Amino acid sequence: MQNYLYLTLFIILIISLLSCEEEYIPEIANAEPEIVVEGYIEAGSNATPPYVLLTRSTSFFSTIDANQISNLFMHDATVRITSGTDTIVLQELCLSSLDEFQQQLAADLLGLGNIDLIGIDICAYIEPSFTPQLGEAGKTYNLTIETEGKTLTASTTIPPIAPLDSLRYVVHPNPDNDTLVELRCFITEPGSTTDFYRYFTQRNDEPTFTAPNSVIDDVLFNGESFEIPLARGQVINTPEDFDPITFGYFRRGDTITVKWCTIDQAHYDFWSTLEFNSGSEGPFASFTRVNSNINGGLGIWGGYGASYHTLIVPE
């Protein structure tokens, strides 16, 4: 009898809580659109040209489709990169203004994958001569954006390049998946300062992608030699693209290229908080505000000190 009494009281409590429930709409959901920046400058033997993506934020509850995303890109801005007395003015280019071959090159540069699956007229501000060797390790680069009567600024420093010692592979622990391998890397930490890293992977002739957790710091192994696994980066366009068995693994016979980058702390903080939010979904997930180093807007202006490493996995 007592158990039924407890059950009745519990049901009454739940009903009373539900009856008092009010709809909660985050303040940011109704906020005015902000300018969002994503830009990079790179140092290294195979550096990509500096570029900046410039868009507007959209409502928390808005419906997103390809046309709406295309309309978020901001045009006719003045975008400058300065370091000391040197200044680079970036030029706006859109996919629709390029031929098919140039479109795929641009998609590879931006890590977008197959151009036929994008369906969005992406526009970027890029160094007009496409000169790759513009960034230098140890230098600070200031970004200035002038658009719609507003001025946005940001600053990033490219740390010294710290190449990996070596790469190796480990076979999948499940014998039923013996065609799959896990990638691991060795690195010897300098030890003088706290260092931050981000990595990208390329499989055979596919584009270069980042993994879900692409940033690493040396808090636990500063000044030591250590080994860490590197998950394969790949784009998941649809739920059908995700295979929990093969996700993050490479295959026997693959040629693996790792782009290993040093980054400054502001750059690390941006990706660390963004990736934490991306992996913390669901009704009980905690909210973490994504860090930004853009004054007057949101996003990231980041430098990369990049080194490239290749491993061929035997069949």
- In DSSP notation, 203-263 reads ETTSPEEEEEEEEEE-TTTTTSEEEEEEPPP----SGGG--TTTTT-EETT-EEEEEEEEE
Q: How confident is the model at residue 226 (pLDDT cuts 50, 70, 90)?
A: confident
28-157 and 166-289+303-312 have identical folds: yes
Question: Please, which residues bridge with residue 230 across strands?
Answer: 183
Which of the two residues, 20 and 124, has the higher pLDDT score?
Answer: 124
Q: Class assignment of domain 166-289+303-312?
A: mainly beta
Query: Where does 28-157 sit in CATH, by number?
Result: 2.60.40
Instruction: Give 236's pLDDT tier (boundaries 50, 70, 90).
Output: confident
Minimum mean pLDDT range among 49-58, 105-114, 218-227: 105-114
SS3 call for 27: helix
How confident is residue 5, by pLDDT bands cut at 50, 70 and 90?
A: very low
Over 50: is that where the pLDDT of 30 sits?
A: yes
Average pLDDT of 231-249? 82
How large a percentage of the chain has pLDDT more than 90? 48
pLDDT score of 25: 52
pLDDT of 314 > 60? The answer is yes
Average model confidence (pLDDT) across the chain:
82
CA distance 129 to 50: 11
What is the per-residue pLDDT for 3? 44
In which band, very low, low, confident or very high, does the pLDDT at 17 lie, cut at 50, 70 and 90? very low
Residue-wise DSSP of 265-298: HHHHHHHHHHHHHHT--STTPPP-PPP---BTSE
Q: Residue 283's pLDDT is what?
A: 47
Residue predicted with more confidence, 207 or 168: 168
Residue 29 in this model has a pLDDT that exceeds 70: no
Position with higher pLDDT, 261 vs 241: 261
Nearest-angstrom CA–CA distance, 212 and 231: 8
Q: What angle do CA 5, 6, 11 make, to 5 degrees?
A: 100
> What's the rounded Cα separation, in Å, for the pair 262 and 268?
9
What pLDDT, on a 0 to 100 scale, did the predictor assign at position 281?
54
- Residue found by looking up tokens 């994958």 in the block: 113
Q: Is the pLDDT of residue 22 over 70?
A: no
As a whole number, mean pLDDT of residues 17-27 equals 49
- Which tokens in the block code for residue 2? 């007592």
**192 pLDDT tier (thresholds 50, 70, 90):** confident
Domain limits of the chain? 28-157, 166-289+303-312
Nearest to 304 by CA among 172, 151, 157, 106: 157
d(CA 303, CA 271): 13
Residue whose token pair is 């509850």: 61
